[in-house]
Amino acid sequence: MSPIDIVKFSIKAMRVRKRRTVLTLVGIAVGVMTLTAVVSYVEGYGDYIGKLLKGPSLRTIYVIPRGELLQESDISKLMTIPHVERASPIVRIPARISIYGTEENVIMTGIDPYYVQDALPDLRIMEGVMPQGDEGGAVIGYSLAKRFTEDPRAVIGTTFKAYGSSIRITAVAAPYGTSIFTDVDNSFIIPLGLANRLKRDAFGLRGYDTVMLIVDSEENTDQVLDELRSYFSDTAYFISMRDIQKALGQLINISALILGAIASMTIVVASIGMMNAMYTTVTERTKIIGVMRALGASKSDIILLFLFEAVITGVIGIVSGIVLGYLGAYAFSFLSAGGMGVSMRSGPHASQMAEVILITPKLPAEVVLAISLVTIAINIAGAVPPSLMAARLEPSEALRYE
């Protein structure tokens, strides 16, 4: 028999037994759908974590005091540690401001203008200019600006008051996202000197609650961490971006492996269903098999007939399962984010817009290929025993079968 004849015969056999074919397809599709949804959501979550950590490089270490704030003397000491290129303090100040009659609770993050690109290397100015030195200027996040006016650029030049100081908005940041230390889109970036003055005037505090260190090389991170532990003992703790990324990467990979293994069991169950259906099919077609063998069909032709039927069923189940699984991952993402990723506030003077984590599922081509190959392999493995049983039938016995 030619390959075309084998395919035609397999498709015709599937049409004759539509109900059984549909049930087998559903079993395979459900297994693939579950696996696709799990893997694509975990991959998307990994991407989200990558975006969350996109600001600081892997050479960044954050020093955070456990008690008293860090002082200028501590900054000087940090700069003497071997392999430390830069030490930049970061100050975060909460404030309630009013622009165009709309009041909002906001966070103002103070960074030395010369080190902004260290903390937020992907930050771009959509309109305006970055404040220089310690002048009283501010960069407003894109989403925050949208809460005051429909056109974010309209707020440039506007002045607002915070703790008795007048601050002029000099620029609007392009949409950025969330970094590890601030939600850029929903906050202000201000010069460090201005942040220190506001902190002193508002709370009577001097010092820093976070210092960002830039190490000259990722390979020297451990040496710098050892020096930090020696200097601060247990009075501060340290966040290494390299260690965080490594730990998160391992966690995501392990989660994907465990959840994927659990989801893969549904494919194995579907394969057992396939095997059961194929055994039943062999029994039903015993006389037909005998006729085909009597007409000259070889054992390999009989095996191929059943294997092609399994492959065709598997391909249809894989395609539908992958599509449904990817759509299902999107639906789960929207539902878990509170409905299409929209965060509702209780009113125009709500304290702060709640951050919405909207995971965008990701399904790389290599993952699709792996799911497809594994599913096809399992289906073929389930179809091989009944196919061999059919091929071993003697024509004379098969023709007498009732």
> Tens digit of pLDDT for each residue in 76-118?
889 999 999 888 898 999 999 999 989 999 999 998 888 888 8
| Two structure tokens written together for 401 | 């079968």
pTM beyond 0.85: no
- The reply to whether 68 and 48 lie within a common domain is no
- The reply to whether 204 and 337 lie within a common domain is no
Q: What is the pLDDT of residue 399?
A: 58
Range of the domain at 325: 3-52+247-399
Task: Tell me whether strands 84-99 and 125-128 are parallel, antiparallel or unpaired.
Answer: unpaired
> Tens digit of pLDDT for each residue in 234-248?
888 898 888 877 877
Quote the DSSP letter at residue 124: -
Q: What is the pLDDT of residue 345?
A: 36
Residue 232: closest CA among 13, 369, 65, 41: 65
Domain total of the chain: 2
> Which residue numbers in the chain have pLDDT < 50?
339-355
| Two structure tokens written together for 181 | 């230390």
23-26 long-range CB contacts below 8 Å, 24 or more apart?
23/273, 23/277, 24/270, 24/273, 24/274, 24/277, 24/313, 24/317, 25/313, 25/316, 25/317, 25/320, 26/317
Of 197, 216, 235, the last residue of a domain is 216
- The reply to whether 96 and 123 lie within a common domain is yes
Q: What is the pLDDT of residue 343?
A: 38
Q: Which residue has the tokens 């702060």?
A: 352
Q: What is the pLDDT of residue 352?
A: 36
- The reply to whether 15 and 108 lie within a common domain is no
Q: What is the pLDDT of residue 400?
A: 58
Q: What is the pLDDT of residue 206?
A: 87
Q: What is the pLDDT of residue 338?
A: 52
- The reply to whether 194 and 336 lie within a common domain is no
Per-residue burial over 192-202, b if 16 or more Cβ lie within 10 Å, else e, is bbbbbbbbeee
